[in-house]
Structure 1
Amino acid sequence: MVAEEGVIVVVCDGCAASFRIPEDKIPAGKTVGLTCPKCGHRSSFTASADDVETKASAESVSKSCEHTEQGSSFLPDPMAGEMERPSASLVFAEEEGDLALVCVEDLNLQKQLRMALELMEYQVLVAAAPHEALKNLRMHTCRLVLVHETFGGGDETRNPVLLYLERLSMSIRREMFVLMLSEGHSTLDSLVAFVRSVNLVLNVRHLPEMERLLGQGLADHQRFYEVFLDAMKEYGRR
């Protein structure tokens, strides 16, 4: 286990894959177990007080995680005592791949999107229900979010994930790229994208072109915010 600025880097004992864990997600002194998504090997480690920013930060995370659900790759160490169990179920993105969240209920569409994103070297989380998607958004840094317009049973105006993303602070939201999958709207409809506060609209008929369109959208997004952040820095606001 190695501490970097803002993160703790954990190396799998089985295959040597490395994982980056945000410091503020790990309570100091807690022993946690991690099942490697690559090889399935279980490793455990204890976060020292030096691996987190403050005790208050750790206590805050511990309290907020008491109500999270079980079942992800981040599991309790069976050899640890009751007081050493982790306070959250988390999934960690490997250093070589950003995290993408797929919010789609249709199993066939889930499979298509997962395959396409893995080919683009993303670490993929799939949420089949709104509560699962919102939990992942709160617990992880998702660089890419794909959400179907009817996710959660309504239309895009009542979509719980889109509403959540729309209310995020700009400092957080600009770190994400949000693609809305649609049955009725046209691909690259900029007006719908603006109204729904997403970066790109993709009609499901154009899924075979997703890699090209998404790559172009991500490149435009990065160029825009590079200029924006440079301007902020120039005026002393960053």
Structure 2
Amino acid sequence: MAGEDGMVLVCEGCDASFRIPEGKVPPGKTVGMTCPKCWHRSSFTAPSAGNGWTETEDSSGDVVESASAKEDERKSFSSLVFAEEEGELALICVEDPQLQGQIQKALELMEYQVIAVKEPHEALKNLRMHTCKLVMVHEAFGGGGSERNPVLLYLERLPMSMRREMFAVMLSERHSTLDSLMAFIRSVNMVMNVRHLPDLEGFLRQGLADHQRFYEVFLDALRESGRV
């Protein structure tokens, strides 16, 4: 359903409803969405411009119509970007605008659909909402050190079945690029010093290729043992 305040989507997996602000998805564009409640993956097509808005009910049967509720939902979804079906999603967690812009430009050239955030709550919302194939997070993101970084802590606690679908890069001012010990300590796939950002594409392509080869061998071993 669509109208003046956006579109209401109903998850096919759990019937939960979510309001998407108008203009977030281009009219007529088909995008993918992962439900943050049940993780059901579905797609939808945004209506053409000019369609009317009608009331809808949430999963409990209550009508979603109050102005305050709509405003809260608009704020809640303001940082969320819906990945197009044809592109893999990358999340950039960097507060410095210059660094963020440099990384975003490089990833877009690699044909990623990019979400760039500056605050931890935005990053965590997007991680829960989407399947991000690439996550790049500065060690000081959120104002603390890497040991208190909320995004790194979130990634560390993910089940391995979900974590191995992501490639996580910790950006650092202190540690060397490809520091394998620090990558192990922080549970990331790669450490990259910000001085090497001009060579980001080369490091990423090599790291992603190594990551894919490792899990191909890992999954083959699981199949041979009858565990998958």
- Tell me whether the two structures share a fold, i.e. TM-score over 0.5: yes
Identity percentage of aligned residues: 60
Q: CA deviation at 1:109?
A: 1.0
Which 5+ residue runs of structure 2 have no aligned equivalent? 1-9, 40-45, 59-63, 65-69
Identify if the C-alpha distance between structure 1 residues 31 and 195 changes in structure 2 by more than 3 Å, giving closer, same or farther: closer
Identify if the C-alpha distance between structure 1 residues 169 and 31 changes in structure 2 by more than 3 Å, giving closer, same or farther: closer
Q: CA deviation at 1:127?
A: 1.3
CA distance in 2, matches of 1:190, 1:97: 29
Coordinate RMSD, CA, aligned: 3.3
Q: Secondary structure at the match of 2:147?
A: coil
> What's the counterpart of residue 93 of structure 1?
83
Q: Secondary structure at the match of 1:146?
A: strand
Matched, 1:122 2:112: yes
CA distance in 2, matches of 1:139, 1:99: 12
CA distance in 2, matches of 1:235, 1:22: 36
**Which structure's relative contact order is higher, taking Cα pairs within 8 Å and 6+ residues apart?**
2
Which residue identity does 2:198 align to in structure 1?
P
Q: Superposition pairs for residues 151-170 of structure 1, below 5 Å?
A: 151-170=141-160
Would you say how many aligned residue pairs link Structure 1 and Structure 2? 190
Q: CA deviation at 1:42?
A: 6.0
CA distance in 1, matches of 2:161, 2:139: 24
> What's the counterpart of residue 37 of structure 2?
61
Q: Superposition pairs for residues 127-206 of structure 1, below 5 Å?
A: 127-206=117-196
Matched, 1:104 2:78: no
Identify if the C-alpha distance between structure 1 residues 160 and 115 changes in structure 2 by more than 3 Å, giving closer, same or farther: same
Q: CA deviation at 1:148?
A: 0.1
> TM-score if structure 2 supplies the norm length?
0.73
Does the CA contact (< 8 Å) of 1:130 and 1:160 recur in 2? yes
Which 5+ residue runs of structure 1 have no aligned equivalent? 1-20, 45-57, 65-72
Residue number among 49, 53, 58 corresponding to 1:79 in the alignment: 53
Q: Secondary structure at the match of 1:157?
A: helix
Which residue identity does 2:174 align to in structure 1?
G
Identify if the C-alpha distance between structure 1 residues 151 and 78 changes in structure 2 by more than 3 Å, giving closer, same or farther: farther
Instruction: Kindly provide the CA deviation profile for residues 9-62 of structure 1, in whole angstroms up to 9, marking residues without a partner as x.
Output: xxxxxxxxxxxx9854x737x586586778x32679xxxxxxxxxxxxx8x939
Identify if the C-alpha distance between structure 1 residues 169 and 33 changes in structure 2 by more than 3 Å, giving closer, same or farther: closer
CA distance in 1, matches of 2:111, 2:129: 21
> What's the counterpart of residue 5 of structure 1?
none
CA distance in 1, matches of 2:193, 2:20: 40
Instruction: Kindly provide the CA deviation profile for residues 169-201 of structure 1, in whole angstroms up to 9, marking residues without a partner as x.
Output: 111111100000000100011111011110001
CA distance in 2, matches of 1:33, 1:78: 15
CA distance in 1, matches of 2:29, 2:89: 21
> What's the counterpart of residue 48 of structure 1?
none
Identify if the C-alpha distance between structure 1 residues 233 and 137 changes in structure 2 by more than 3 Å, giving closer, same or farther: same
Q: Secondary structure at the match of 1:116?
A: helix
Matched, 1:27 2:15: yes
CA distance in 2, matches of 1:31, 1:157: 34
Deviates more, 1:90-99 or 1:143-152: 90-99
Identify if the C-alpha distance between structure 1 residues 41 and 176 changes in structure 2 by more than 3 Å, giving closer, same or farther: same
Q: Secondary structure at the match of 2:168?
A: strand
Matched, 1:41 2:27: yes
Which residue identity does 2:192 align to in structure 1?
L
